[in-house]
Structure 1
Amino acid sequence: MKKGLLIIISGPSGVGKGTIREYFMKDESLNLTYSISMTTRAPRAGEVNNVDYIFTDKAEFERQIKAGKLLEWAEFVGNYYGTPLEQVEKLRNEGKNVVLEIEVQGATQVREKCPDAITIFIIPPTMEELEKRIRGRKSEPEEVIQQRLAKAALEMKQISDYKYVVCNDDPELAADVIGLIVKRNSK
């Protein structure tokens, strides 16, 4: 059986990675599965444990880091985010194309460990639109919003580290473009 692709979707907070992912994951011809990330942040309204994220505490997350059980991990605004390694390898060995929706810092770690990964950076149509989306969540205090915007400006400078760049002006169109990228790389 052919080993599945590892597909990295990155981009600044608020760019719409999750929305785009929901669209392209519906295409069964892509043979996709989503790797659920682990985090220490509190769930947002509507998020479900072991569906949107694996929600855990800092002590358990730090145990995972020390045991080498994470493909990548990062700390952002006081919370950890990471990808369980065993889950990703199991799915790829089953021939599934595994989608990682991760931060730029985590993507760098994955590229070092898995140079065959397909890297896709999602950009907003403008930085003003990105700010509007982040504020539209109404889920974080102003200090965190400012941290997210500052981090986004830095992350946008790392576009050249990615093989593909997709603009999210229209989430369905962006999802279609990503579907084409997956099909081209599956051959």
Structure 2
Amino acid sequence: MEGKAIIFSAPSGAGKTTIVHSLLDRIPSLRFSISATTRPKRSTEIDGRDYYFLSLNDFKSKIDSEELLEWEEVYTDTYYGTLKSEVERIWADGNHVIFDVDVKGGKHLKEILEDQAISIFVKVKGKEILRERLQMRNTESEEVLNMRIDKASEEMKEEVHFDQVVLNENLDEAINKAEFIVKSFILS
């Protein structure tokens, strides 16, 4: 039997990754879908744990051979996508898959997976909060930071396309709300 899919999307810095990791600790039947990307690996990241880091040519080859459930060119020559094999492996083990994807990817996954998935948008009250959180990460140049903030302004308008919205003003409350939503969906 195929499992269910839980899709978390948000602008960069909204806290979706923190929420997803908390849910993985709290809900034993969830397994993280590791995305593939062409972006450079950060010093704290491990290939095969955080992302599958692929060359641009390898990624495009996977697109051509239809090995990706969904993919997006998020920035010029920076692709993100979901490997079909990753989702099939999780479902074959009798688990539910949880996605941590950008807003376009989240919308696309929901279109593909339909009722088998729930899409959850994580938001904050404004882009100033996103800027502060991204600056605290200290992982991007000012140019990349500004590019992410510009993109976030557009992404914040997309929450209407998601099944549920979680406001991440207080992290514990956001995690608890997300846990309730996910457990209710899994049991439905």
TM-score by length of structure 2 reads 0.92
**Residue 11 of structure 1 corresponds to which residue in structure 2?**
10
**Residue 68 of structure 1 corresponds to which residue in structure 2?**
66
Distance 1:54 1:82 in 2: 10
Distance 1:148 1:183 in 2: 31
- Structure 2, gaps ≥5 residues long: none
**Residue 103 of structure 1 corresponds to which residue in structure 2?**
102
Secondary structure of residue in 2 paired with 1:80: strand
Output the aligned Cα RMSD: 1.4
Aligned length: 185
Moved over 6 A (4+): none
Secondary structure of residue in 2 paired with 1:71: strand
Distance 2:71 2:99 in 1: 12
TM-score by length of structure 1 reads 0.93
Instruction: Answer whether contact 1:12 1:155 (CA < 8 A) is retained.
Output: yes
Percent of pairs with identical residues: 36
Distance 1:94 1:32 in 2: 11
**Residue 47 of structure 1 corresponds to which residue in structure 2?**
45
- Structure 1, gaps ≥5 residues long: none
**Residue 150 of structure 2 corresponds to which residue in structure 1?**
150
Q: Tell me the CA shift for residue 160 of structure 1.
A: 0.7
Secondary structure of residue in 1 paired with 2:42: coil
**Residue 124 of structure 1 corresponds to which residue in structure 2?**
124
* CA offsets 1:60-110 (integer angstroms, 9 cap, x no match): 000111111111111223311111012202312433110011111112221
Secondary structure of residue in 2 paired with 1:112: helix
Distance 1:167 1:130 in 2: 13
Distance 1:45 1:16 in 2: 20
Instruction: Answer whether contact 1:4 1:94 (CA < 8 A) is retained.
Output: no
Distance 1:181 1:174 in 2: 11
Distance 1:143 1:83 in 2: 27
* CA offsets 1:23-48 (integer angstroms, 9 cap, x no match): 1110144x100000011111112111
Q: Tell me the CA shift for residue 21 of structure 1.
A: 1.4
